[in-house]
Amino acid sequence: MNPTTEEYKKQAIIDELAWDDSVNANDVTVTVYDGKVELNGTVPTYAAKTAAERDAYIASDMTTVINNLKVKFPATKAVPTDAEISTSIKNKLKWNSQINDTGIKVETTHGLVTMSGIVDTYWEKNLAEDIALFTDGVVDVINDLEVTPVKSLVDIDIENDIKNTFARRNIDETMINVSVQGGIVTLTGTASNYLEKSKAHNIAMYTAGVRDVINDIVIV
């Protein structure tokens, strides 16, 4: 079978999902068409939903994954109440020494978690979301946290920091472009695969002074 065919890519995704024990993909269907992947069905956790999307990108090198998966908790498992979910997330944030949780507000409605308030860094914003993501009972996360860096840096310095790190990490700067305005980083250009796109995003995320990252890199 020609490895460039949609059938081959579909089977590669199915095999990846079946291998990934964190997904539990028994009720996931995969459709591949027009250079896109569509995931439908149900998974037991929100973390599994995001893992399935990541697996689809990695297994197929497709440019677009449409994630229509719904979170459906196992009937045999007691689902935490909204108050229990919020309390659990707040405790995890408090116990995590990497996060200053004093400015973070957590609200849960029917399993939908909304995080608002202020954090010092963009990576803290993402870490807080991950903590919520892996909490029992969560069906989705809205991350409205605002990043207010303790130390304000000039945009050109942020841009140079990212570009210098790209060079150290062997990312082709002629393919991925970086621009910074008001601490907001925009990444454009092309990447050969999902992992390269994620690598560029993570570099921007952990750079001092960054308030947000808009990742418009296209996988080709």
Could you tell me if 66 and 92 lie in one domain? no
- The C-alpha atoms of residue 110 and residue 98 are separated, in whole angstroms, by 28
- On the question of pLDDT at 3 being above 80, the answer is no
Q: Which of 16, 63, 68 is nearest to 36 (CA)?
A: 63
- The answer to whether residue 179 sits within a structural domain is yes
Number of domains in the chain: 3
Tokens of residue 72, six digits:
């459906």
pLDDT score for 169: 92
DSSP state of 60: H
Same domain, 137 and 102: yes
Rounded to the nearest integer, the mean pLDDT of the chain is: 92
Q: Which helix (H) or strand (E) holds 156?
A: helix 155-168
What is the per-residue DSSP string for 105-162? Answer: EEEEETTEEEEEEEES-HHHHHHHHHHHHTSTT--EEEEEEEE--SS---HHHHHHHH
71, 91, 122: which is the final residue of a domain?
71
Beta-carbon-side half-sphere exposure of residue 171 (alpha carbons within 13 Å): 27
pLDDT tens digit string along 51-106?
999 999 988 877 789 999 999 888 777 889 999 999 999 999 999 999 999 999 99
On whether both 133 and 175 belong to a single domain, the answer is no
The pLDDT assigned to 21 comes to 93
Q: Write down the pLDDT at residue 177.
A: 95
The answer to whether the beta carbons of residues 219 and 197 sit under 8 Å apart is: yes
Domain coverage including residue 94: 82-147
Please check whether residues 49 and 86 belong to one and the same domain: no
Beta bridge partners of 200: none
Q: Are 110 and 140 in contact (CB under 8 A)?
A: no
Beta-bridge partner residues of 178: 187
What CATH number is given to the structural domain containing 188? 3.30.1340.30
Among 11-15, 61-65, 183-187, which is the least confidently predicted range? 61-65
Domain edge (last residue) among 52, 71, 90: 71
Does 143 lie in the same domain as 87? Answer: yes
Residues 136 and 175 in one domain: no
Q: Inform me whether the pLDDT recorded for 4 exceeds 80.
A: no
For 141, phi then psi, to 5°, come to: -130, 130
**pLDDT, tens digit, 9 for 90 and up, residues 109-168:** 999 999 999 999 999 999 999 999 999 999 999 999 999 998 889 999 999 999 999 999
Residue 62: predicted pLDDT: 79
Residue 195 domain-assigned (yes or no)? yes
b/e code 29-68 from CB counts within 10 Å (16+ = b): ebebeeeebebeebbbbbbbbbbbbbbbbbbbebbebeee
Asked whether residue 77 is domain-assigned, the answer is no
Taking the C-alpha atoms of residue 168 and residue 198, their distance in angstroms, rounded to an integer, is: 16
Q: Does position 1 have pLDDT exceeding 60, yes or no? A: no
**pLDDT, average across residues 193-217:** 94
Question: What is residue 125's predicted lDDT score, i.e. its pLDDT?
Answer: 97
In a domain, 48, yes or no: yes
Q: Last residue of a domain, which of 103, 125, 147?
A: 147
- Is residue 76 situated within a structural domain? no
Query: What does the pLDDT read at residue 173?
Result: 83
> Can you give the pTM of this predicted structure?
0.83
Beta bridge partners of 37: 32, 65
23-32 pLDDT, tens per residue? 999 999 999 9
